[in-house]
Structure 1
């Protein structure tokens, strides 16, 4: 991921916070600029419109999630171990970035998402699909569509991260391990 200017990072951070509090419609560019501590003209130096800001923020945030998948998707260790690392890596990322998680959720349920390519061409999901294809190829997973496996596993990660990240549920490490094991037992290949 190429480095971005500090002012642009401040704009992204402010947008995440304001969208969490006010939603997309309640977050005008002027408020983002004020909250980020930049001049109104500065925000338009980086973004022609609010739509461009929201879409670039989504891409920037998604790159962070992609970095987690790339870091935890280790082809040199057994698939099962890699599965648990990937699950925990994404869970920790989402749990520790609740503004981003809430932003993702709003984005994919908004008109801003209509300009994006189909999910099969999305780099984040492509990486997940490839990961689960590996598990099937190595005989570790049931022969189910990688899309189904990715959807099922990613949904469990997001649900757990939302509940814990927003303080609605306290999960100990042993609880997380049980959750992972239940999921693994449901998707692993049985004799």
Structure 2
């Protein structure tokens, strides 16, 4: 049976070690070299850097663009101010840029959890409006050939063929 040290030294496998922030990459690399020796075919990166790297070429091939948070909030704002959504509950509240950002955050969390608009079942009027905004947001992304950050993470995970590890508090954990 191979030990974790053997796994990291295996030159036949590509290994990706995910760290929480880019500033810690150098210290992680130093720590791993001291504890495990030479790291062959090993990449140390943040999840955001990894997703971006792995997806940029594929996005270009599929003629898709990455939409930033500001662009996504603008889409949500235009949906909420449009005629297609009867956002009665939301329109009774004071809507600010924070409202659009909060809705965007909820949508991204739903997407990361694999929750589609049609899966949301509720009697709550506010949640029903959020569900409709989410559905229209997805339509706008598809219509304009955009991917948001949640789509990128799902896309990257499906395209990467490597062993993943999470580095936390000087310990490595398989993902």
Question: Relative to total residues, which structure has the larger helix share, 1 or 2?
Answer: 1
TM-score, normalised by the number of residues in structure 1:
0.28
TM-score, normalised by the number of residues in structure 2:
0.30
Question: Relative to total residues, which structure has the larger strand share, 1 or 2?
Answer: 2
Using CA pairs below 8 Å that are at least 6 residues apart, which structure has the higher relative contact order?
Answer: 2
